[in-house]
Structure formats: C-alpha cells, structure tokens
Amino acid sequence: MKTCGSYIIRGGKKLEGEAVVSGSKNASLPILAASILNNGITKLYNVPNIHDTKVMIEILRNLGCKVKRVRDKIVIDARSVNKQEIPEELMRKMRSSVILAGALIGRMNSATFSCPGGCDIGARPIDLHLKAFENLGIKICENTGYIHCTCDTIVGEKIHLDFPSVGATENAMLVAVLAKGTTIISNAAMEPEIIDLQNFLNKMGAKVTGAGTNEIVIQGVEKLKDTGYQIMPDRIEAGTLLCAVATTGGNLKLKKVIPDHLTPVIEKLKECGCKIETTKDTLILQAPKKLNSVDIKTMPYPGFPTDMQAILVGMLCTAKGTSIVVENIFENRYKYTNELNRIGAKIMVEGRTAIIKGVRKLGNGTVEATDLRGGAALVVASLRSNGKTKVTNIEYILRGYENLDEKLNALGANITKEVG
Ligand code: EPZ
C-alpha cells in the first residue's frame, strides 16, 4: 500500500492520563460479515470508524446491502443482498474480507471470490477455510485466481482444523449457522473475538456454544432475526496504548477495556517493572523510569498475541538488557525491525527469533510503516526518543486504529499528522 500520510512525532515526554478504548476491529469485521445471514435489519454499536471497517461496509453495499453509519452505530439492511461475488479490487483492499465467503455461502449457498493475496506479514493461505467448507458439502473450484463455492444444501458435519486459525474458525461458524443438522469444530481458535461472534450470532437466534474453548458446536436453525449488538473493546488497541505509555515511563488509566482479554500482555508489562491494577472494565498502569527486558513467544490465544509482538518490541528497544522474541504464528512479521534499526535500535532477526539489545535512547529520522502493527511499533518506539521522528505510510496504521494520534496527544504526546 503506497500512501502519502505521515506522523511527525516529537518524543521524550512522559505520557499520563486517561484513555477510552474503541471497539474491536477484529470482532467488528466478522460480525459485519455475519449480518448478511439475517434477511432483515441488524444494528451494531461501538464499531470503530477505521479503514478496514469502511472497506467491509463498502463490500456489503456492493453485495446489495443498505448500510448507514450514525456516529458509532451501524445499521445494515441485508434484505436486498443480490450478489454472491466479492469484487477482486475490494478483496485486495483487505484480505480479511474472505470472512464474507462464509456469510454468503450461509445465506445464498454460493460465493465467488478471488484468492486474497498474501500481505506484509506472510503468505496467509486460506486452505483451512476451504477444507472446512468442503467438510460441510460445499463444492469448490478454482480457476484464473477465482474461487467458486456452491452447494445444494449445507449439511452439518465434524470439522477438525489442522491449526486453530481465527479466520477459518469464524468462516466455519458462519456457514454452519443455517445448515441442516449440527456442526462441531475441533481445534477451534479460542480468541475473545470468536466469543463476541458467538454472542452476536446467538442474539440473532443462532444456536452456537463452546466459543472460547477449542470445540465449538453449531446447531443449524431455519432463520435468524433482527437484533442490535455492542462490539467488544479492542484488546490490541488497549495493549498498544499501554505500551506507548510504558515506553515513556508514564501512567495511564484505560477505560472500557476488558483486562481478562489482556492477561499475557499484562504479565509481560509487570515483568518489565510496570505496576498494574484492574477492575472489570478499567486498567491502571504505572511504569518505571526504565523498563526491564523480557522474553516473549507468540502463541494462539490464550498465549501471547502475535498482534502485540511488534508493539512490545517497539517498547523494548530502550529497555535495560536484552529481550528475545519468538514469532510462532506468522512467518514474516519482523519487517518493521529494519525501520527501528534505522533510528538507532539494536535488533537482530534470525528466522522467527528477534534479539533486541536495549539502547539508551533512539535517534530520530524517517521510518516507513510496512504493516498495521509494525507501523504502531514505530510510533511507540518514537515516543521515547528525544527529537523528531517521521513515520510515513501511516495509512497502514489507520487501517486498525481510530484516532491513535489524538488519543496519544491527549496523554501529552506531540504527534502531528501530515498528508502528502
Ligand atoms: C486474524 O487473522 C486477525 N485478523 C489477525 O490480526 C491476527 O494476527 C490473526 O487472526 C492471529 O491471531 C482478523 O481477525 C481480521 P489466522 P487470520 O487464520 O484469521 C495460517 C491484525 O493485525 N493459516 O489465525 O488471517 C496463517 O498463514 C491482524 O489485526 C493457514 O496456514 O489469522 C498464519 O500463519 C493481522 N491456512 C496462521 O495460520 C489458513 O487457511 C494464523 O492465521 C488460515 C491460516
């Protein structure tokens, strides 16, 4: 994504104050897609106004839905869905639009879409999605880069996922909701966003149980009903704000957060020397002047989340000592480290392992965002360094963060946005 927006970050200041966490991007996208399953009207609240949700809404409109946003409420009228093909240019804009395949097959018994290209963090195949569809009796044929899925009736079946893929789990759930009979997904992903999807589907009248465990059971129903649903808070945005403040030795009160979703991140921040107190929906962090180094291994939930890997590394660049990070989920999720090294970080990458030698401070200069979380890592690291850092290609960051610069400036940061 070649783009022209930049952040100019003048770092070196301690951040302190309060911030409110926005709705979850990774819960909103599958739930927006799932609204197609109801031949009626769905109201969603707390959907973040970010690039990726805008693209998802554009695709829903392209498929014939009427969608309108009134502040943080989105109203989707899916009665006029009249297409089952996701346009290639929209698939390319956001690979997670593959989740619409499950919704379209669930509603129309067919879907056509282009292979969602890889992206900056890896090849990101969809073989597990397609295998799950085939288990449910869906015929799949691929030609000239397009995948055509069709079936007469969807019959509930046992599905075993070779890997607890979040997207494949979500797609299998969506196809099974209106199927004949019962579907059991084993080795399912256990992320909180899967629980949010289950809660939404059940509010529409589906019969789904087990989300949050590695076995999800979906009893097919005849039809769904109109409903309203509040999206869960974004645990990765919450983690990003915590790391941004911790990098500067500051303090933060996070509101509208679910601390239970952040346990592995909270444990690592405590190992770094942060003091953390939590209630049901708030989290208070007090960081030390200088953080300790820590070792991290990313794992499927409830392990340490891969989406927080880059952001923790951005924070650890100026910690005391050496940190070792192993990325076990995506094969190419260290591109951002070259950019951090350009402003004085000392990071060495060997395959899936990154070794981060803490430095006293980062210099300043110009760095380029290469993906969503890698871009956020550059912002976090720049907050510690005195002087001025320019982060370019910020459209990557705008894909997943609602007003990140404004939230950080409200805590005392000095970030200006430059277009062009
Ligand atoms: C979801 O992506 C998230 N995106 C990602 O967040 C997150 O990093 C990822 O889950 C892991 O937690 C959304 O929810 C929109 P996977 P997804 O299928 O579903 C391999 C962010 O920054 N795999 O769990 O695409 C895959 O290559 C984004 O917000 C297959 O091999 O992730 C990867 O190595 C980035 N075959 C691993 O599994 C498949 O059919 C995990 O992928 C599917 C996946």
Q: What fold does the segment set 25-230 form as a domain?
A: UDP-n-acetylglucosamine1-carboxyvinyl-transferase; Chain (3.65.10)
What percent of the chain stands above pLDDT 70?
99
Residue 394's pLDDT is: 97
Residue 404's pLDDT is: 97
Helix residue spans in 186-248 (DSSP H): 192-203, 235-247
Residue 131's pLDDT is: 96
CB of 163 closer than 6 angstroms to any ligand 1 atom: yes
Q: Are 334 and 349 in contact (CB under 8 A)?
A: yes
Domain positions in the chain: 5-22+233-419, 25-230
Residue 200's pLDDT is: 98
CB of 53 closer than 6 angstroms to any ligand 1 atom: no
CATH of domain 5-22+233-419: 3.65.10.10
Does the model's pTM come out above 0.95?
yes
Residue 117's pLDDT is: 65
Residue 81's pLDDT is: 95
Rounded to the nearest angstrom, the distance between the alpha carbon of 31 and the centre of ligand 1 is 16
Amino acid of residue 376: A
- Positions of the chain with pLDDT under 70: 1-3, 117-119
Candidate list 4, 115, 119, 272, residue with the active-site label: 119
Phi, psi of 298 (to 5 degrees): -80, 145
Residue 386's pLDDT is: 83
Residues 6 or more apart whose Cβ sits within 8 Å of residue 416: 7, 8, 405
Rounded to the nearest angstrom, the distance between the alpha carbon of 95 and the centre of ligand 1 is 10
Rounded to the nearest angstrom, the distance between the alpha carbon of 96 and the centre of ligand 1 is 9
Residue 417's pLDDT is: 96
Q: Which 8-state DSSP code applies to residue 23? A: B
119 in catalytic set: yes
**Domains 5-22+233-419 and 25-230 are alike in CATH topology:** yes
Cα–Cα separations (whole angstroms), residue 253 to 32, 62, 287: 30, 41, 12
Residue 3's pLDDT is: 56
* Helices and strands: H and E segment counts in the chain: 14, 23
